Amino acid sequence: MRLLDRIRANLAVRNALRLGKVFHIEIGLDYSWFIVFALVTWTLSANYFPDIYPSWPRFYPSLGEGIYWIVGLVTSLLFFASVLAHELGHSVVALRTGLPVQSITLFIFGGVARIGREPTRPRQELLIAIAGPAVSALLGLLFWALSASWPNPRSPLAALSEWLSYTNFALALFNLIPGFPLDGGRVLRAILWSIGGNLVRATRIASWIGRGVAYLFILGGLLLALLDGDWLSGIWLAFIGWFLDNAASMSYQQLALREMLSSRVTREVLQSDLPQVRRDLTLDRFIQEVLLKTGRRSFPVMDNGRPLGIISLHHVKTIPKASWATTTVEAAMTPLERTIQVGPEDTLARVLEQMTVDGINQVLVIQDEKLLGLISREQLLSFIQTRAELGM
Ligand SMILES: [Zn+2]
């Protein structure tokens, strides 16, 4: 399905560079990470440290201005190590509660841990969500203690520890903003989930709030750029907002569809009371006696209780009107060997995937060479639509 592809493409953060494995989790960098790494290093080395600690080059005369770049680079690396630790926090708890974690990727907006399955209980979701900010807050405390323990509070090591302390606290707080899919939004989702008992509905509400937060980011970024003249921070904030908005709506759609389709099997939706269409029926009689009477679009063609193929409105339309009286259903249908067949216990997620991959509109549900029924694309989509409207 195109929607699913779009979702995948939007959320695809690849491990362009593999750094290694921690707890069997592959750690990697997306190319976009280098942009933010350069930006953070540059901001620290060219602006932040020189502004606050103008005396450093005098204490390290052999390094001169280079001291800012060395401290900036080390600080920046430790910052990304902190982001990684945050994601490891999520991942370790996910692993411990039984969810597989495939990879952690650092990219332009931070880090993302790819957890193989959605949590199955609100408590599990809550613990996984809170673990990341908890690690960040702990690191904040650790760096704060470190910064206070250096004898000279204005030394590079104290400065570095202080910045990392603030930044880790900021990271914890930022992630606790209750906008899904930020960690705070996941906490909110877990709470809504435990109250209402419905993951998809909880996700919908949490992602609405997430999108609201995202728009606030965009608005805040624009105001910062236009009123304050701080274009870099403004555009950055707006970009984060844009990314969050995308992530919020995509995560919801993806979850809703996947949850629903993978928890349903074909047996539950197949049409089993289909009229038996005979192979020797002419198309004009098929149209009059079957197609127009039932309002359905596709039917199995049967011969002595055995399925021969599928005939549909689509097939009829490919035959010129003048030939309808002389063409049989068998001549116009898709023969059995060219149809897609699924079993009664196959999930609807698989059916949709088959339809997408093969570009077809209906599948036959067959068990032990016996036809149980048929599932059409319209039927599947209306099943999705109906359930979505009922909020199920
Ligand atoms: Zn997090």
Chosen domain end from 242, 262, 282: 262
Q: How far is the CA of 130 from the centre of ligand 1 (A)?
A: 8
pLDDT at residue 356, rounded to an integer: 66
pLDDT at residue 145, rounded to an integer: 94
Query: Based on the number of CB atoms within 10 Å of its own CB, is 98 exposed (0-12), middle (13-18) or buried (19 or more)?
Result: exposed
Q: Are residues 143 and 254 in the same domain?
A: yes
Instruction: Kindly list the averaged pLDDT for each block of 10 residues, start to end, along the chain of length 392.
Output: 43 65 85 86 90 84 85 94 93 89 82 77 91 95 92 87 94 88 88 87 86 90 86 83 82 73 83 82 90 85 86 89 91 88 86 72 85 84 78 68
Q: How far is the CA of 217 from the centre of ligand 1 (A)?
A: 18
pLDDT at residue 126, rounded to an integer: 92
Q: What angle do CA 6, 10, 12 make, to 5 degrees?
A: 115
Query: In b/e form, how buried is each residue of 324-344, taking b as 16+ CB within 10 angstroms?
Result: beebbbbebbbebeebbbbee
pLDDT at residue 358, rounded to an integer: 67
Q: Which residues are CB-contacts of 200 (< 8 A; sequence separation ≥ 6)?
A: 255, 256, 259, 260, 391, 392
SS3 state of residue 161: helix
pLDDT at residue 15, rounded to an integer: 56
Q: Are residues 66 and 93 in the same domain?
A: yes
SS3 state of residue 110: strand
CATH code of 320's domain: 3.10.580.10
Identity at 317, one-letter amino acid code = K
**Which residue segment(s) compose the domain that 382 sits in?**
266-390
Q: Are residues 144 and 58 in the same domain?
A: yes
Q: How far is the CA of 182 from the centre of ligand 1 (A)?
A: 7
Q: Among all residues, which ones are annotated catalytic?
A: 87
pLDDT at residue 86, rounded to an integer: 94
Q: How far is the CA of 107 from the centre of ligand 1 (A)?
A: 13
Q: How far is the CA of 312 from the centre of ligand 1 (A)?
A: 50
How many whole angstroms separate alpha carbon 338 and alpha carbon 177? Answer: 52
Residue 285 β-bridge partners: none
284's enclosing H/E stretch is helix 283-286
Q: How far is the CA of 262 from the centre of ligand 1 (A)?
A: 27
Q: Which two tokens stand for residue 175?
A: 């992630």
Residue 370 β-bridge partners: 367
Q: How far is the CA of 142 from the centre of ligand 1 (A)?
A: 19
Q: Are residues 173 and 233 in the same domain?
A: yes
pLDDT at residue 218, rounded to an integer: 92
Q: Which residues are CB-contacts of 266 (< 8 A; sequence separation ≥ 6)?
A: 342, 343, 344, 345, 346, 347, 348, 351, 363, 365, 375
Q: Are residues 242 and 323 in the same domain?
A: no
Read off the pTM.
0.65
Q: Are residues 177 and 256 in the same domain?
A: yes
Q: How many domains does the chain have?
A: 2
Chosen domain end from 225, 244, 262: 262
Q: Are residues 36 and 155 in the same domain?
A: yes
Q: Are residues 197 and 227 in the same domain?
A: yes
Q: How far is the CA of 90 from the centre of ligand 1 (A)?
A: 7
Q: Are residues 43 and 126 in the same domain?
A: yes
Chosen domain end from 236, 262, 288: 262
Q: Are residues 84 and 159 in the same domain?
A: yes
Query: Based on the number of CB atoms within 10 Å of its own CB, is 55 exposed (0-12), middle (13-18) or buried (19 or more)?
Result: exposed
Q: Which residue has the tokens 């109906």?
A: 386
Say if residues 161 and 150 touch (Cβ distance below 8 Å): yes
Q: How far is the CA of 138 from the centre of ligand 1 (A)?
A: 14
Q: Are residues 294 and 231 in the same domain?
A: no
Q: Which residue has the tokens 């067959």?
A: 366
Q: Are residues 181 and 275 in the same domain?
A: no
